[in-house]
Chain A
Amino acid sequence: MNFKDLSDEEIVRIVREKNKELYAEIIKRYRLKLSHYLKKFTKNNDELDDVMQAVFLKTYQNLYGFDIDKKFSSWIYRIAHNEAINNIKKNKNIINLEFIEYKILDQKAGIFSKIEKKCIKEVVNEALLKLKNKYRDPLILFYLEDKTYEEISDILRINKNTVGILIMRGKKQLKEYLKGKI
């Protein structure tokens, strides 16, 4: 059987019931996506590796807690999100976007086009850190992780309508903060 064609949920079912080694496929599928997401909340690669390892181990240990009728990606992102929060608590506030991500934020949300490119990182990091978690997390998941409202709702455990409101308010607050910096 070619397990590459299997859905995440089917792989989880097989891992739980028959073949634990198939969990490697889950790691392969989510390694890049999660490292992309978790990088924003970690200082360096070593710390990122530690958080990633914790996420994959917790995911494995709690596989029976996953409801197979739901979306696995939202569930693993939720675990990753919780680990990211733990890491932020341990290491104070960290926001570590890549340059391309500032561009994406600029294009999609149109919030800081007037800022000079050379100081964009510094200013946006500061602005994102000023935002409350409840606004920052949906903004990052929506604009930088390409998650839908439904997925963000499942990851952050907030109502779908509230997701839209939080993104809108977060964007507004970010714009207002950046206005003062231009």
Chain B
Amino acid sequence: MKEDLENKIMKDIKNGRVKLRSKYIFLAEKLSLGSGLILAVLLAILFFNLILFYIKETDNLIYLTFGPNGFLAFLESFPYLLIVTFIAIIFFVGFLIKKTDFSYKKSFGQWSIWLISFIIIAGTFLTFTNINNEIHKHHRIFMHPFFENKPFLKNGITGTIIQKTDNGLILNTDRGIKYINIENINIDPNFKERDFVIAIGDKQAQDFFANDIKRVAPDKMIFMKRELEHFPEDLDRDCMKNCFDQDNFFHDCMNKCKKE
């Protein structure tokens, strides 16, 4: 019986019915796993850096300067999408490491500590380079889904003043032109057009009712500042300006000045 087994296998090999899988298949598998792993680690570093950049250069952290009242806006504007993406990449890296030949030599806990430490250090280092500004300048479209989608933000708003009205301010924000009602608060009379402001309050229907507002130096939020330099493409700037000057209602101006 044992002889049969050997003969049977060797017969299949000699006849060519059973063949060696090409070495290039194994090489390709190794290369794709290796390059996939490197790419995933680089992506994890990039996303960790983006999380830090977001916190540092957008309105997120500045909401906390309003004290406990700003905490809700801070939570609402937190970069959840970036964090979820980062965690998903980390899981993917873990999955790829498990597939390698060397992963079992160290415990998964050890791998995790090493890897996460490396990603955090490299990501932090990257935040202090110019890479985020370069990405923002040349590849804005990559950052938009992560930086502009603030679906939960209802209690905070940031933007540059386009126009002052009796009871409010019209702001150019990263989510378009918005109207802030300021009748319940006393604002600095020196507020002027192009000032960079941040406010907390409540969003009711299309408008925002501010409970507190302050001017911020634009260099505190480099990303926001640069974003707000872009006037919404679907609105005619001159038309908006004239419309506000004629004391029209905000929403009428928005409808009137939409580009075809």
Contact = CB atoms under 8 A, between A and B. Distances in A.
Nearest to A20: B13
Contact of A67 (B2, B22, B101, B105): B101
A16 B9 contact: no
A62 B18 CA distance: 11
Given A49-B5, A159-B104, A161-B107, A61 B10 contact: no
By DSSP majority rule, is chain A's interface helix, strand, loop, or mixed?
Answer: helix
Given A24-B6, A49-B5, A153 B23 contact: no
Nearest to B101: A67
Interface in B1-57: 1-2, 5-6, 8-10, 12-14, 18-23, 25-26, 29
A116 interface: no
Contact of A16 (B1, B10, B19, B20): B20
Given A49-B5, A52-B5, A162 B107 contact: yes
Contacts of B138: none
Contacts of A20: 13-14, 20
A27 B6 contact: yes
Contact of A65 (B1, B13, B26): B26
Contact of A153 (B10, B101, B104): B104
Contact of B9 (A45, A57, A67): A57
Contact of B19 (A31, A53, A61): A61
B14 A21 contact: yes
B13 A23 contact: yes
A153 B107 CA distance: 11
A31 B5 contact: yes
B105 A64 contact: no
A61 B20 contact: yes
Contacts of A153: 104-105
Contacts of A158: 104
A52 B14 CA distance: 19
B12 A57 contact: yes
A82 B113 CA distance: 30
Contacts of B9: 23, 27, 53, 56-57, 60
A18 interface: no
B259 interface: no
B102 to A, nearest CB: 10
A90 interface: no
Contacts of A64: 20-23, 25-26
Contacts of B5: 27, 31, 49, 52-53, 56
Interface of A: 16, 20-21, 23-24, 27-28, 31, 35, 45, 49, 52-53, 56-57, 60-65, 67, 153, 157-162
5 contacts: A31-B2, A53-B8, A57-B9, A62-B26, A67-B101
